[in-house]
Amino acid sequence: MRIVCPFCGERELGEFTYLGDAKPVRPVAGASEDEVFDYVYLRDNVAGATSEYWYHGGGCRAWLKVARNTLTHEISSVEPALGAGAARVGA
Amino acid sequence: MAGAQTHRLDKGGLIDRSASLNFRFDGKTFSGFQGDTLASALIANGVKLVGRSFKYHRPRGILTSGSEEPNALVELRTGARREPNTKATTAELYEGLEAASQNRWPSLRHDVMSVNQLFAPIFVAGFYYKTFMWPAKFWEAIYEPAIRRAAGLGRAAGVADPDHYDKAWAHCDVLIAGSGPAGLAAALAAGRSGARVILCEEDFTLGGRLLSDGGTIDGLPVAEWLSRTLAELAAMPDVRIMTRTTLFGVYDGGTYGAIERVNDHLPSPPEHQVRQRLWRIVARRCVVAAGALERPIVFAGNDTPGVMMASAMRTYIARYAAAPAKRIALFTNNEDGWRTVEAALGAGLQIAAVIDARPDVSAAYRSLASKGGFPVLHGSVSGVEGGKDGVRKIAVSLTGGARAEVEADGLAVSGGWNPAVGLTSYHRGRPKWRDDIAAFVPDGAPPGMVAAGAANGDFGLGACLSQGFAAGAAAAHDAGHNGKAGTAPVADDEAFSLTPLWHVAGKGKAFVDYQHDVTASDIELAQREGFESVEHLKRYTTLGMATDQGKTSNVAGLAIMAAVSGRSIPETGTTIYRPPYVPVAIGAFAGHHRDETFHATRLTPSHHWAAEQGAVFVDTGLWKRAQWYPRAGEKDWLESVTREVKAVRGGVGFCDVSTLGKIDVHGRDAGAFLDRVYINTFSNLAVGKARYGLMLREDGIVYDDGTTSRLAEDHYFLTTTTAKAGLVMQHLEFCRQVLFPELDVQLTSVSDQWAQFSIAGPKTRDLLKEIVDPAEDLSNEGFPFMGAREVALRGGIKARLFRISFSGEMAFEISVPARFGDAMARNLMLAGAPFGVTPYGTEALGVMRVEKGHVAGPELNGTTTAADLGLGKMMSTKKDYIGRVMAGREALVAPDRQVVVGIKPTDKARRLRSGAHIIPKGQIPGPGNDQGYVTSVCFSPTLDQWIGLGLVERGRERIGEVVHAHDPLRGEDYDVELCNPVFYDPDGGRQRG
Ligand SMILES: [Zn+2]
């Protein structure tokens, strides 16, 4: 598998570390235990298009948001994960 | 002395008759020529029996001439280089080659295990499943040892492989698998277009079937076209041709696996060279021109030595000038088989008969038969008479019911051709059925891959050339190369007509999977027992699960299952194809990652100095750390460690702690950032001060700890544990980039930039004064406990000095740029000599931390909360931080949690062991009353007894209670007392002094 890092270019899987689903957003301070529980534990087991966090530890140390199809492993986009999990006030 | 090569043809073949090679098979000496495989050399010497089969120990000969070979597996080489299950058909002959047959005892010709045939009923389909249901005692005592001896393939060498293996990367535009007509045409087109091309060929000679089948291309004899084409390709600088290299797998993103047998054709690799090299090839496009495999027909006695694939027989005759038999019969259901008759007649061999399952034969072949003086029998082979000396007689059942017999010493079989659909199916592509060739062809290849020629089900020479050329040109174009490809090579297509025939009913064992001894009746039995799905059939009968992965057997097996279950072959379907296409040695996957180079080694800045001192090193992660420094006369590690601890507690010692993770945190919001990742607060830490910090995972469990110092308003210096250095950096980057992008903060890993030493003991200040510039105030007022700042050293080097203590003594940690680490160690020794300075290792460090009750890895074990560690009060209630909410969950704050407590045996002479379970006194140990365990232990020189820390239910409320330590692993039971975990200087006066 190969990932096109927006900063470093196309690199091999071994340079990256997988974290998981990039969908959950960290609840705001003061959120209920249930909300935080969902954030920490609840994940969809997607067969198909998904977005996930990868860390380019063997390169630029950027956290990336990778859109990948879990059935075909096809990667459709890679972008910096800047703020992707940040709490959204009012959300 | 080697005997004459009785079955070597007088002329022809791609062998070098001037280079005679001696070799040994089962202890007997033979000779062959350069260009032979072990199989062709054995054939040239008239050897027909080469092995015994897996279950029944039936005599077996050579079936094929390639990597699909199921029978002719040998142990190649001797001693440490002995390699079991090597295919004689792909092993290149070299001077002095030694090979031995497998699965026989005491000898190949007289094998006592062939009595297994008499017990055939117990070895039927489902044998493993059924056997496992026998009473366990029977299995362990009788069946397993017997079966292990009787079944199984070759023997491993049993000692370490003396050779080196390499791993390498390659990148190209167009990757081509196979150098037959389609592969070469693809390479020509892609190369001429300007693409960077890599062509992999598993054989040691390029040309594929062209080497055996002859023909005319572009009006030239094949050999001439081949040399012209190879010359053209060799002249293209961007075309790389790799022989002895098999493409074995396809991975995501256009990454391919290939194994190059660099030096397998030599007795041992030349000095400084590898045996094999594992390639990872990244290609924009891939053309699979891997050809097709001829398939057997299943009939009784089809495993008799001398029964061979027709195309293989042609290869041995034409390419190797070796005659597998002198009077040959052909059993075919298609036109292609007849080409073997032509080849044999051309080489002056006799044809006994052609048994053709088709209703009719072309006029040309009819006249060939009458010229050659052999009959054409319409029907099929129903049995073979013969044994370990080969085929003697062939029974034929003629269309219409009559029977005939043919005397022959060899039987060529052609059941049609199966395209090599492995590579194209490795991404779960399911090949589709093509009726005209009665075979599966690729469907839905991985992205960027296309099959051409025979691999695509188009067998004619003309079709192979034109398809290969078109595929090569298209692949180059897709990769952005649009040079002139010129015109495709041209040749005629041979006729190909086939009447499907899979299985001829008859008496006697008819083998489908030769290597796993799976017969037609096993498949029928599996169907009767309900295993109709092909995936079940495969696992129940083990069909296609041997080292050849069913290359010659899978389709026939499916066809038989289809017939007995009343379905069509496409309805029956195929099993899932998985890499590798050929077996790949684990050594090749490991490459140089073995023994001392299994992983990278990290050395501390003072490593070489420590080695000079005779330090004993311990592996911690990738690091080598000095564990203790033995001195002459010390009888064991404990004596050395005890001395080091006493030296620190009574004077001064130092220890390299550079392995800690170190991170510089810069920015206006650095303090705010640290507040969010630690449970305690750092924004209010004064410049020039250090503070111990604890961070949680988002689930509320403790992640890591360490001290963080504020060196400037917008600059903190953070340390992590050695084990978590990389992971904490990754975690903090996640927090910074993904969760808190609004904060103005930057992280820089400086773990490798600083050499850090802990200097501890009551004389620390005396030693430091010798090192640090006299202008620096090191007094308790000028540099109080938990102070942290940059200082100048004598000589002007800037250092960072931290007044922190892990040992509980008056202590500092000093950081200097890593390049001064070695000098710092030497300088500390010199400057400290008047004070009796003692270097100490990680053991003494550990002893002092247990004496002081500090938690470390065994307590920060991924299950403990801050409160469990006795650090619950550090949890700020005034701010949000990672893990705050989840740490408040009911179970994580339950009063009966196992918490850190001190533990000491009631018998002071008793040794305490970590891992011992804590059980209430007077109870019988069991899972129901297990209240925790001992996590860390040491012999405390200060207390003169073994002490430890443990995680014990409600431990802190039970100080003074005597409980039971139960250690079933070591068979020990003893009483221990729960106590304050801070064994030494509980009020901390020493470290503040
Ligand atoms: Zn990058």
* Residue type at B208 in one-letter notation: G
In chain B, residues under CATH classification 3.30.70.1400 are: 661-749
B392-416 mean pLDDT: 96
Residue B532's pLDDT band (cuts 50, 70, 90): confident
Which pLDDT band holds residue B556 (cuts at 50, 70, 90)? Answer: very high
Pairing outcome for strands B292-294 and B307-309:
unpaired
pLDDT exceeds cutoff 70 at B977: yes
- Which residues of A fall within a CB distance of 8 Å from B255? 1-2, 12
Closest residue of chain A to B169, computed from CA coordinates:
A12
Question: In chain B, pLDDT over 90 holds for what percent of residues?
Answer: 88
Instruction: Report percent pLDDT > 70 for chain B.
Output: 95
Q: Which two tokens stand for residue B688?
A: 């020039």
Task: Report pLDDT digits (tens) over B216-246.
Answer: 999 999 999 999 999 999 999 999 999 999 9
Residue A88's pLDDT band (boundaries 50, 70, 90)? confident
Query: Is 3.30.1360.120 the CATH classification of the domain at B604-658+754-848?
Result: yes
**Which part of chain B is CATH 2.40.30.110?**
895-993
Q: Residue B488 — very low, low, confident or very high, per pLDDT cuts 50/70/90?
A: very high
pLDDT given for residue B110 in this prediction: 79
- The alpha carbon of residue A85 is apart from the nearest alpha carbon of chain B, in Å, by 5
- CA gap B755, B823 in Å, rounded: 10
C-alpha distances out from residue B328 to A32, B310, B408, B518, Å: 84, 10, 6, 27
pLDDT of residue B105 exceeding 80, the answer is no
Q: Which of B726, B730, B738 sits opposite A84 (nearest CB)?
A: B738
Q: What is the average pLDDT across B402-415?
A: 97
Strand-pairing partners, residue B662, are B719
Q: Radius of gyration over alpha carbons of chain A, in Å?
A: 14
On whether the A2-88 domain is CATH 3.30.420.40, my answer is no
B283 to chain A, closest Cα gap in Å = 12
For B895-993, which CATH superfamily applies?
Aminomethyltransferase beta-barrel domains (2.40.30.110)
Query: Are B252 and A1 an interchain contact pair (Cβ–Cβ within 8 Å)?
Result: yes
Q: Distance (Å, rounded) from C-alpha B255 to C-alpha B929?
A: 54
Q: At what angle do helices B764-771 and B821-832 cross, to 10 degrees?
A: 120
Per-residue pLDDT band for B152 (boundaries 50, 70, 90) equals: low
Given the DSSP bridges, would you call strands B197-200 and B165-177 parallel, antiparallel or unpaired?
parallel
Pairing of strands B838-839, B653-656: parallel
pLDDT at residue number B138: 61
Confidence band of B448 (pLDDT split at 50, 70, 90): very high
pLDDT at residue B140, rounded to an integer? 64
Check pLDDT > 90 for residue B495: no
Q: Is B120 helix (H, G, I), strand (E, B) or coil?
A: helix
Residues 8-47 of A with CB under 8 A from B: 12-13, 17, 19, 26-27, 29-31, 33, 36-37, 39-41
Taking residues B297-320, report their average pLDDT. Answer: 97
State residue A91's pLDDT score: 47
Chain A residues within an 8 Å CB radius of B427: 72
Superfamily of domain B165-292+420-478: FAD/NAD(P)-binding domain (3.50.50.60)
Whether pLDDT at B148 is above 50: yes
Query: Which pLDDT band, with edges at 50, 70 and 90, does B585 fall under?
Result: very high
Q: Evaluate whether B287 touches B453 at the Cβ level (below 8 Å).
A: no
Enter the tokens of residue B715: 């600059």
Residue B123 has pLDDT above 80, yes or no: no
Task: Band the pLDDT of B156: cuts 50, 70, 90.
Answer: confident
Instruction: List the one residue out of B295, B46, B319, B82 whose CA is nearest residue B209.
Output: B319
Domain B16-127 is of which CATH architecture?
A: Roll (3.10)
Q: Does B889 touch chain A (CB under 8 A)?
A: yes
β-bridge pairing B276-288 and B449-451: parallel
Q: What is the pLDDT of residues B933-956, one digit of tens each?
A: 999 999 999 999 999 999 999 999
**Tens digits of residue pLDDT in B33-87:** 999 999 999 999 999 999 888 888 899 999 999 999 999 999 999 999 999 999 9
Enter the pTM of the model. Answer: 0.91
CB < 8 Å to A55, chain B: 730, 733-734
Q: Is the pLDDT of residue B160 over 60?
A: yes
**Contacts B281 to A, Cβ<8 Å:** none
- Residue B788's pLDDT is what? 98
Asked if A36's CB is within 8 angstroms of B733's CB, the reply is: no
Do the chains contact at B734 and A55, CB–CB below 8 Å? yes
CB B711 within 8 A of CB B717: yes
So where are chain A's domains? Answer: 2-88
| More confident of the two residues B539 and B154 | B539
Give the sign of the dihedral formed by CA B823, CA B824, CA B830, CA B836: negative
Kindly state which CATH superfamily the domain B293-417+496-572 is placed in: FAD/NAD(P)-binding domain (3.50.50.60)
Q: What pLDDT does B130 receive?
A: 63
Residues B883-908, mean pLDDT to the nearest whole number: 97
pLDDT of residue B767: 97
Separation of CA A15 and ligand 1 centre (Å)? 9
The pLDDT assigned to B109 comes to 80
Residue B212 structure tokens: 């055996």
Query: What number is the ipTM of this complex?
Result: 0.98
Q: Which of B169, B733, B885 sits opposite A61 (nearest CB)?
A: B733
Q: Which CATH class is domain B661-749?
A: alpha beta
Alpha-carbon distance B191 to B34, whole Å?
31
Where does CATH 3.50.50.60 sit in chain B? 165-292+420-478, 293-417+496-572
Instruction: Give residue-wise pLDDT tens across range B717-764.
Output: 999 999 999 999 999 999 999 999 999 999 999 999 999 999 999 999
Q: Is pLDDT larger for residue B1 or for residue B72?
A: B72
Structure tokens at B230: 């190879």
C-alpha–C-alpha distance, residues B689 and B544, integer Å: 69
Find chain B residues with C-beta within 8 A of A29's C-beta.
879-880
Q: What is the mean pLDDT of residues B420-424?
A: 93
Q: What is the pLDDT of residue B108?
A: 78
